[in-house]
Structure formats: C-alpha cells, structure tokens
Structure 1
C-alpha cells in the first residue's frame, strides 16, 4: 500500500498551529498524517522569533518527518516555504494566500507596495521589537466570513510577532524547483486578490476560493480538498 505524504501546515503572522486544526481534522480523516507547526515567538513556542529562526525551526521540523511531505503555508509563512521549502522529502508546496516571493522581496515590500490591505503597515502597531494587531482590526481583516464566535476566538489567540518577520528579505525561491500551487482567496482584505494573483502567476498552478484571508477557519474542508488534490498530483 502506498504511504500517503505527511502534510506539514505552517501558520501566518500572529497565529499558531491552532489555526490549522480544522483542516488537519479533515486531512487526517482522509488518511493523511499532519504536523501543525507553531513557530517560535512571544507567548508561543520557545526559540528564535525572527525570520531566520523560523526558517531554522521549520527545517528541524521537516527533518523529523519520515517519508514524503506536502508543505502548506498561510500568509507570512509563504516566505518560509520560499526560503527553505526545497528541503529533502518535500514533494510539493501549497501557498494559501501566502507570500510566494522572489529573492530580494519581503512580506512588507510586497504587501505595502499596493494600496488595499487592511492589515498593512498602517494597521499594525510596533511595541519594542514586536508587532501587534488589535483584535477588532484582525476580525475585520482576517475573519470577516467566519462566524462571529470563531472570529472573536481567533482574534483573542493572536500573539505578538517579531518585526523582522515582516521585513526580512528572502534569498532563495524554492518554488522554482518544487511543484507549487497557490490558493487565491478572492475576498481577502489582508493580502488583496490582485497581489495574490501576481504571486500565483509565478508557480506551477493555482486555484481560487471565495474566502477571506483565513479559509482554514471559514472553509476548512475546501482547503483540505485542495491540499489532497495537490498531494495526489505530486505523489512520488
């Protein structure tokens, strides 16, 4: 019997592995083992909270997974997929409204280059070395198609993010050598659909969901189905 790949799920800024719980439930019901990564950060996992620290953490996670991997990133973590997503065993990348960057770009340089984001530099606050986003701003920018209870619950769980995560420049582009799929969220208020489509044009294939920035919360089954499709297409 063919062994299914492990799905490694990486969250965006301010979030944690909890954001992928519903998607993982659907994937595991289909037989796919899942790893929900929680990146180092304040009030989160221990370790280096910078972009480099996040990359190193993800490489360690991937090194502990035996067999094939489909690596899935949401929002900011697309930068991590871009930098280290060609690790051994990774058969495909899935960018969910995620920053599929060119070398020399950062999350900030791409998202702030065009007006329209409601989670951009003017919508977040810096306190010391960390960025915070207020719950009301998050609910409007990230979760507007979620139930009010889900939106409020998610906003309450957000944690500060090191400012370096937003401004760090990627040096590599794993999507050039690893088959990659981009999920465009057409109702997104945090990373506009126009910006997403420009990044989606860089990779192997793309699809669209009529979703906010957080389809893993508002339509987890649809996200899981897309991941399964990519996993099936690129099974070794």
Structure 2
C-alpha cells in the first residue's frame, strides 16, 4: 500500500496551529498524517520569533518528517515556504492566500504596494518589538464570513507577532523548483484578490474559493479537498527543476 504524504500545515501572522484544527481533522480522516506547526512567538511557543527563526523552525520540522511532505502555508507563512520549502522531502506546496514571493520581496512590500488591504501597515500597531492587531480589525479583515462564535474564538487566540516578520526580505524562491498551487480567496480583505492573483500567476496552478482570508475556519471542507487534490497529483513525484544526482 502506498503511503500518503504527510501534510505540514503552517499558520499566518498572529495565529497558531489551532487555525488548522478543522482542516487537519478532515485530512487525517482521509488518511493523510498531519503536522500542525506552531511558529515561535510571544505567548505562543518558545524560540526565535523572527523570520529567520521561523525559517529555521520550519526546516527542523520538515527534517523530522519521514517520507514525502505536502507543505501548506497560510498568509505570512507563504514567505517561509518561499524561503525553505525546497527541502528534499517536500513534493508540493499549497499557498493559501499566502505570500508567494520573489527574492527581494517581503510581505510588507507586496501587501502594501496595492491599496485595499484592511490588515495593512495602517491597520496594525507596533508595541515594542511586536505587532498587534486590534480585535475589531481582525474580525473584519480575517473572519467576516465566519460564524460569530468562530470569529470570536479566533480573535481571542491571536498573539503578538515580531515586527521583523512583516518586513523580512526573502532570498530564495522555492516555488520555482517545487510544484506549487495557489488558493485565491475571492472575498479576502487582508490580502486583496488582485494581489493574490498576481502571486498565483507565478506558480503552476491555482484555484479560487469564495472565502475570506480564513477558509481554514469558514470553509474547511472545501480547503481540505483542494489540499488532498494537490497531494494526489504530486504523490511520489520528484521535484521540478532538480537535476538528478550523479555518482562516480
């Protein structure tokens, strides 16, 4: 029997592994082992809370997974996929309204370049070394199509994010060599659909969900189906762009 790839799920800014709970349950019911990553951060998990620290943390997580991986990132964590997603066991990546960046870009440079984001630089506050987003802004920007109870629960669990994460510049573009799929959220108020479609044009395939910025909360079944479809298309395949190793 062929072993299904492990799905590694990475959350966005201010969130935690809890954001993926419903999707992970559905994926595991379909036979996919899941790893819900918790990135280091204040009131979240110990470790280096910077972008570089997050990259190292994700690299360690990937190194600890036996067998093939489909790597899924939401929002900010797309920058992590961009930087370190070309680990040897990653067979495919899924960017969920996530920052699929070119070298030299940052989350801030892409999201703030176009008007329309309701979670941009003018909507968040810096307190010391950390960025915070106020509950009413988060509810409107991230969860406007969620039930009131789900939105309230999510807002209560948000944690501060290190200020450097938003402006950190990536130096790699793993999506050039790893088969990648972009999920555009057409009702997104945090990263506009126009900005998402620009980034989606960089990868080999894309699809759209009529969702806010948080389809993992508002429509987990549809998102899980998309992830399973990507995983099935790339199960056991070699990464693009990698030359075979030669031994003498």
SS at 2:76's partner residue? Answer: helix
Provide the residue aligned with 1:102 in structure 2. Answer: 102
CA distance in 1, matches of 2:98, 2:10: 10
Counterpart-to-counterpart distance in 1, 2:225 and 2:232: 10
Deviations 1:98-144 (A, max 9, x none): 00000000000000001000000000000011000011100000000
State whether structure 2 residue 175 is matched by structure 1 residue 172: no
Alpha-carbon separation, structure 1, partners of 2:132 and 2:182: 27
State the shift of 1:88 in Å.
1.4
Residue aligning to 1:31: 31
2:86 — aligned with what? 86
> Who is 1:198 aligned against?
198
Residue in 2 aligned with 1:45?
45
Q: 1:9-158 counterparts in 2 under 5 A?
A: 9-158=9-158
For 1:103 and 1:45, the matched residues in 2 are separated by 28
- In 2, the alpha carbon distance for the partners of 1:50 and 1:78 equals 15
Larger Rg: 2
What is the aligned length?
236
In 2, distance between residues paired with 1:222 and 1:81? 22
Alignment deviations for residues 192-231 of structure 1 (CA, whole Å, 9 cap, x no partner): 0000000000001000000000000000011100000000
Separation (CA, whole Å) in 2 of partners of 1:37 and 1:64: 12
Per-residue CA distance 1:59-116 (angstroms, 9 max, x = gap): 0000110000000000000000000000010000000000000000000000000100
| Structure 1 segments of 4+ aligned residues over 6 angstroms from their partners | none
Query: Which blocks of at least 5 consecutive residues in structure 1 are unaligned?
Result: none
Partners of 1:136 and 1:31 in 2: CA distance:
38
Instruction: State the Cα RMSD in Å.
Output: 0.3
Q: Deviations over 1:176-200 (max 9, x none)?
A: 0000000000000000000000000
Cα distance in 1 for residues equivalent to 2:80 and 2:125? 23
The alignment partner of 2:121 has SS state of coil
- Secondary structure at the counterpart of residue 169 of structure 2: coil
